[in-house]
Amino acid sequence: MNADALQRKLGYRFNNSDLLRLALIHRSFGSEHNERLEFLGDSVVNCVIAQALYKKFPELPEGELSRLRASLVSESSLAAVAKRIDLGAMLSLGEGELKSGGANRSSILADALEAVFGATLTDGGFNAAQQCVLHVFNAPLEAIDPATTGKDAKTQLQELIQGKHLPLPCYSVTAIHGEAHDQRFEVECVIAPLNICCHGSGSSRRRAEQEAARLAYEQAIRP
């Protein structure tokens, strides 16, 4: 992918192409890098997403809006957006980062996307940056659901079960594998009134419970 293709995906064409180039330089590449632009972009994306959510959900209180914003501007969410526009293919990385797969690392992708927003702000002002953020976040903003976004699987399952006026799910560890420094937990999640019994595994009990809860939730919402 070239710079023209990236700008089409961003929905913005730079007047100063050097700013876009700088936004795509990781600090491992050299002394000139994107961290100052990332600083700007972090503020921009938080502001734009906050305003978009404020308009989209006029009934939600501040705490709920904050939860939704945190979900949308999290590292994983930013990285997913960056991957959607193939930003990793345009990054300038040092040899070590290239060999270790830095172009696909969530932290690097998220920081680079913020730097691009910072570059857009510097190049075209706030309105340009706002339109760029809204353009690339269009799908996540359309899909966001206040009922589930930002809630982990156990919380979603608990709220679903409470809504049905049923006893809470029962979690139990069924097995622990491996040495103390490298264990793997097997957990069972049972919802007896719904005849649901799901198993999850993970490197901690909490992760295993979350996996089991996710599978149980998927079963519980099936028609």
Catalytic residues: 42, 114
Contacts of 171 (CB under 8 A, 6+ apart): 187, 188, 189, 209, 212, 213
Structure tokens at 172: 């139990």
Q: How far is CA 42 from CA 74, 95, 129, in A?
A: 11, 26, 12
For the chain, the 3-state helix, strand and coil shares in percent, each to the nearest 5, are 60, 10, 30
Structure tokens at 9: 């995906």
The dihedral built from the CA positions of residue 10, 14, 19 and 24, taken in this order, carries a sign that is positive
Number of CB atoms found within 10 A of residue 49's CB: 24
Give CA–CA dist 93/90, Å, rounded: 9
